[in-house]
Amino acid sequence: MKRGLALLLLWLATLGGPLAATGPEYVLGAGDIIRITVFQNPDLTTDVRVSENGQITFPLLGPVALGGLSVAHAERSIALGLKRGGFVLDPQVVVLPTQMRGNQVSVLGQFNRPGRYPMETLPVRVADMIALAGGVAAGGADVVVLTGRRQGQAFRREIPVADLFARDSTVNLDLEGGDILFADRAPTFYIYGEVQKPGAYRLEPGMTVMQALATGGGLTSRGTERGMEVHRRQSGGQVAPLPLARTDRLQPDDVVIVRESLF
């Protein structure tokens, strides 16, 4: 009974950092700083950073691989090493993350609140992280790109934002520490000449020349659809004018030129 009470008091004494409520599901990763305490062995108390290869250096044991382990598994791994080495007869180990950096996701680009976000609970999915970042900004694309590593291999996935909220969505993937979510700027087109509101506009999927004219407010009293051109960058890099019909679809960075009527 006394021993159980002492262990409880030791655990409570280690709490008090801002990340004390982490819980056993948290997975340690490179960059995390942890405090390791061994009951009745204060000389073994260690504050250490998890290295890029997932290891720490612990007194008596030397290098110990903790990267990818939950907090509970890390405690058992250190306790087993101390017991097998004959250093502590019945080790009671507490591992407390004090700074979580390994299990962060970088949210970059056209989000309302871009930055680095810790995964304090598991699992965290793509939609959860987009919500934490305030959603995709008004000027952001309809597709976000997720990059990271899975099973030691580079991983990349383009995810339509609308599909994240479909029933039984298969693209709302679980995130892992070190992942990057990126939202590019939405594709744009340009319309100039004899239209009511010339300028740059968001290119919606499947937008036609006629829809682009409507987005620009329609023709002015002097405008005509005859001789209308779309200037488009070719594969070689040069920009060439193309005659397009009203129902032809635009491409990103197209420039629509509306001519003045001669009559």
For the segment 31-60, what is each residue's pLDDT rounded down to a tens digit? 889 999 999 999 999 999 998 888 999 999
Q: From CA 45, how far away is CA 58, in angstroms rounded?
A: 9
Q: For the structural domain made of 188-258, what CATH number should be given?
A: 3.10.560.10
What stretch(es) of the chain map to CATH 3.10.560.10?
A: 104-185, 188-258
For the segment 189-239, what is each residue's pLDDT rounded down to a tens digit? 999 999 999 999 999 989 999 999 999 999 998 888 887 889 998 888 888
For the segment 136-181, what is each residue's pLDDT rounded down to a tens digit? 998 899 999 999 988 878 999 999 999 998 877 889 999 988 899 9
Q: What is the pLDDT of residue 172?
A: 93
Phi, then psi, of 26 in degrees rounded to 5: -65, 135
Instruction: State the pTM of this model.
Output: 0.61
| Contact partners, residue 181, CB within 8 Å, separation at least 6 | 105, 106, 107, 108, 111, 126, 129, 130, 133, 144, 145, 146, 175
Looking at residue 250, its amino acid is: L
Q: For the structural domain made of 104-185, what CATH number should be given?
A: 3.10.560.10
Lowest mean pLDDT among 11-15, 26-30, 171-175: 11-15
CATH class for the region spanning 2-99: alpha beta
